[in-house]
Amino acid sequence: MGGASGLGIAMALSATSSGKARASDLPGDITDMSATRLSLAIRQREVSCVEVMQAYLARIHRYNPVYNAIVSMLEDDVLIEQARAADQALSKGDYWGWMHGMPYAVKDSKDVQGMPTSSGSPIFAGTIATEDGFGVARIRRQGPIFIGKTNLPEFGMGSQSYNPVFGATGSAYDPALTAGGSSGGAACGLATHMLPVADGGDLMGSLRNPGAFNNVIGFRPTPGRVPYGPDGDLFYQQMATSGPMGRNTEDTIRLLQGMAGDYPGHPLALRDELPAPDQFKAVNLHGLKIGWMGDYGGYLPTEPGLLDVCEASLRTLSENGAVVEPCMPQYDMDRLWQTWLTLRHWTRHGMRELYDNPETKRLLKPEAIWEIEGSFDTSAADIYAAGIARADWFRALRALFDQYDFLIVPTSQVFPFSKDIHWPKEINGKEMDTYHRWMEVVIGGTLAGVPVVNVPAGFDQRGRPMGMQVMAPFGDDQGALEFALAYEEVTDHLQRRPELVDKT
């Protein structure tokens, strides 16, 4: 058992700067290397960027027709030529960053210069970006080669990555099931080893839910940790944030380092800096106090067996010295849901122009229309009340953090379901009254504005993966990730790889 640790990162960095790794230490398949290991191999020229690109392209061509994780791919010869340029730069001592020459695909809601950005909508299909988006520009400075985009739901709305432009993305563990969303293509691309590392965005679990449905790490940072800008609202709508995903926590930390950092153009960006990746150390589990909120005392309906999977992993933590106790926030959970509906509708009022134009309205999915229409009757009084309710929720969790180091809930209320179903209509006989009610479990972390990391929880008897959300106090992104490092050391869920189905 065991995953990466701060020590592993430190050793990799040390080898990068002072010596050569043995070729025999490298996996037989380049795509099996973690992103951190691949970075080291490229830096030390144990593998060329051309070899890396060829290996990943071969894997993508074999599996992507089945899983549909990566869309808008560039031509192979263009990518090989870019990889060759990366090798030439390295031979001259020009090192672009820790992702030098690595294949990388960006979520299709973000602009990459010269690539199409569809956001999964036929309204924008084929629209070519004239420049990098703010976050993409930061990632580009780490040295990757952008090969295409990752699939998502239309406008990122919903935790099922289907859209009329590219179709649905399947889970790495069963392509007939959904990969989750909205960063479903990113998570599936990681779990199938078609991508070494990936980014996404998270409003309602969009990094966490697909992380759970594909057995990878998804990290929602504290809002402001990964700033955005320079356009749009910079003050009020502080619910969505970009963040990293990785095959393990070590890779997730390294990508976060490249995405995070202060930005003067974002007034609410966090001013403190994260430590260097080698400064992240697995937390000592002995005596650590963990609050297990489960289904909030029966408030949330969950698919049978889901809580059992999570609680089995919690027992592993207990066996390794952690103190795990059931707990409940002192809060009316229905009030939290109503708060979510108000603020969620409000965030979609910016789509009013698409709604008012008959030509574009007819191309919107019903869920998008429902969200936009929900904003019409949202008053200033509603938004004010929701703001107070959100603050009360933060205070309720803050009280629990006075007792516990971390708080944990499941990442979803259901296991991955058929990708032909847009969303579950019921759970355990309870009707889901909105398209996103089945993901109510993720709104707690979003509305509290705390960092949340999805860690794998295990699998049910059908082999469907599940995850747990680990919440840390506001601003303690390092603590959340250091817990995830320790969790990897005592569990082996990440080592259970999917049996992939190829296009033949």
**Structural domains in the chain?**
6-327+403-495 (3.90.1300.10)
CA 99 from centre of chain: 18
Among left, alpha and beta (phi > 0; psi -120 to 50; other), residue 215 is left
Among 34, 88, 72, 219, CA closest to 148: 72
> Which residues make Cβ contacts (< 8 Å) with residue 243, sequence separation at least 6?
199, 200, 201, 202, 207, 218, 219, 220, 221, 226, 256, 259
Helix (H, G, I), strand (E, B) or coil at 218: strand
Inter-residue contact 411 to 469 (CB < 8 Å): yes
Check residue 3 and give its pLDDT: 38
Among left, alpha and beta (phi > 0; psi -120 to 50; other), residue 233 is beta
CA pair distance 294, 408, nearest whole angstrom: 7
Check residue 379 and give its pLDDT: 95
Burial of 425-448, coded b for 16+ CB within 10 Å and e otherwise, reads eebeeeebebbbbbbbbbbbbbbb
Q: Which residues of the chain have pLDDT under 70?
A: 1-28
> Where would I find the H helices in 20-75?
35-43, 49-67
Phi, psi at residue 180, to the nearest 5°?
A: 80, -170
Helix axes 366-376, 333-347, angle to 10 degrees: 100
CA pair distance 102, 95, nearest whole angstrom: 12
Query: What tokens were used for 90?
Result: 């390295």
Helix (H, G, I), strand (E, B) or coil at 92: coil
Check residue 25 and give its pLDDT: 57
CA pair distance 200, 283, nearest whole angstrom: 26
Inter-residue contact 198 to 150 (CB < 8 Å): yes
Check residue 6 and give its pLDDT: 41
pLDDT, tens only, 24-38:
456 669 999 999 999
pTM, to two decimals: 0.94
Check residue 24 and give its pLDDT: 46
Dihedral sign computed on CA atoms, order 50, 187, 407, 222: positive
Check residue 27 and give its pLDDT: 62
